[in-house]
Amino acid sequence: MKLKTRELVAVAVFGTLWGLVEISLGTVLKSFRIPLSGAVLAAIGLMVAMIGRTFVPRKGSTLFVGVIAMLLKLFSLGGVILGPMIAIFAEALVAEIVLSLFQKPHRRAFLLTGSLGVLWVLIHPFITNPLLFGRTAFVVWLDLLDSGSRLIGLDTNAAVAILLFLVALHLAIGAAAGWLAWDVGKQLQIRLGKSFSPTSPPISQKKEKTL
Amino acid sequence: MKPTRFLFILIAVLLAACSSVVSDGDVTKVVITDGTSEKAFSLSDLEKMSVTESTFNEVTYVGVMLSMLLEEAGFSPADLSAVKASASDGYSVNYDPALFTREDVIVAYATVDGDLTEDDGTFRMVLPGEEGKLNLRFLVELKVIP
């Protein structure tokens, strides 16, 4: 995939925005152990990436945005950054796959992208914790139940109810992010005087040289 | 109803279902339970047991090896899949066998310089070299999971 100068700049800008959100807000949310901080961060990050997709409607652009955000996470304060870096990359990969599946991206594509991207937050510890920290999947499962139990006040014995609640909440947060991203992307394109059609590059960019 | 409104109402409802859970555990004892039976240990009970020192964040703590405490309560660490430590404020953390069988993982009740601080509570977990969130303070309960 060859990106034009303007597209590269857009990818860099949106990647930096996502990275800055992770560094600043991420550090604050994690420090204060705010519930659902992972879902909130993923939703905001994916929103930025999806808005970026309306500026660079090319396969691979969302993954590029995620890679830049991931690299910026290296500058984050605090000890553990490898897990969050993998999470950013995985969320971008999920977003890229879903967006690429749709021939003509529209609001539904963004809703699905947001939902599945944020849902990754629940799945992520099951992969990284055993690989990076040597924790068993069973203990990760117990952690998940505990966090759900603390959120809704149900006993951890109600595992199915807790899991369904967490899945529904993450899907809804992701869908909201997708919805907002579509609207914000649309508004930005209109304000910039471009026709809103995420399936093809804006007319003003078509004659630029490729790098 | 517009889909946007429905979506945000759904999130609001789900978030409204969230609540903070604070247990009212007795902070002067640490209870070890498997859900059906339990055994409580007071500070004086722990002081009578064999002492182990462990260092975390440049502070050397005095306490009892977690695996020894589990055995004292009648649970064989080799038969357990996990141990869940809970604090008096509802915070909890789960330890896998690789952690709770370590000889330097202790339930601390003092430091080498004296009592635990007010920020530590009566008992705290000490896991040298592990993340801060695993070194739980205000320990009130250890739940064993077979």
Q: What is the pLDDT of residues A160-208, one digit of tens each?
A: 999 999 999 999 999 999 999 999 998 888 888 776 655 545 444 444 4
B contacts of A138 (beta carbons < 8 Å) = 81-82, 96
Query: Using an 8 Å Cβ cutoff, are A171 and A115 in contact?
Result: yes
> Does position B1 have pLDDT exceeding 90, yes or no?
no
B contacts of A176 (beta carbons < 8 Å) = 7-8, 11
> Does position A210 have pLDDT exceeding 50, yes or no?
no
Percent of chain B with pLDDT over 90: 58
Q: In chain A, whose CA is at the least distance from the CA of B93? A: A143
**Minimum distance, in Å, between the CA of residue A15 and any CA atom of chain B:** 27
> What is the distance between the alpha carbons of residues A86 and A43, in angstroms, rounded to a whole number?
16
DSSP A181: H
Q: Which of B18, B84, B94 lies at the smallest CB-CB distance from A151?
A: B18
Q: B17 — contact with chain A (CB < 8 Å)?
A: yes
* Partner-chain contact B7 A176, CB within 8 Å: yes
Kindly state the average pLDDT of the residues A79-93: 88
Q: Which residue has the tokens 């998940």?
A: A144
Kindly state the average pLDDT of the residues B1-21: 68
Radius of gyration of chain A (CA): 18
* Token pair for A171: 């899907």
> What is the distance between the alpha carbons of residues A199 and B117, in angstroms, rounded to a whole number?
61
> What is the distance between the alpha carbons of residues A32 and A51, in angstroms, rounded to a whole number?
29
Q: With bands split at pLDDT 50, 70 and 90, how would you rate the model's confidence at A2?
A: confident
**pLDDT tens-digit series, residues B20-71:** 544 555 668 899 999 888 899 999 999 999 999 999 998 999 999 999 999 9
Q: Does the pTM of the predicted model rise above 0.80? A: no
Query: Using an 8 Å Cβ cutoff, are A177 and A169 in contact?
Result: no
DSSP B95-146: E-HHHHT-TT-EEEEEETTEEPPTTT-S-EEE-TTS-GGGS-SSEEEEEEE-
Q: Which amino acid is at A110?
A: F
Predicted local distance difference test score (pLDDT) of residue A147: 87
> Does position A68 have pLDDT exceeding 90, yes or no?
yes
Q: B60 — contact with chain A (CB < 8 Å)?
A: no
Q: B16 — contact with chain A (CB < 8 Å)?
A: no
DSSP A7-62: HHHHHHHHHHHHHHHHHHHHHHHHHTT-TTHHHHHHHHHHHHHHHHHHHS-STTHH
Percent of chain A with pLDDT over 70: 90
ipTM of the complex model? 0.72
Q: Which of B4, B95, B131 lies at the smallest CB-CB distance from A179?
A: B4
> What is the distance between the alpha carbons of residues B111 and B132, in angstroms, rounded to a whole number?
17
> Does position A158 have pLDDT exceeding 80, yes or no?
yes
Closest C-alpha among B47, B110, B116, B136 to residue A146: B136
Helix (H) or strand (E) holding B94: strand B92-95
**pLDDT tens-digit series, residues A105-134:** 789 999 999 999 999 999 999 999 898 888
Question: Checking DSSP bridges between strand B106-111 and strand B38-42, what pairing results, if any?
Answer: unpaired
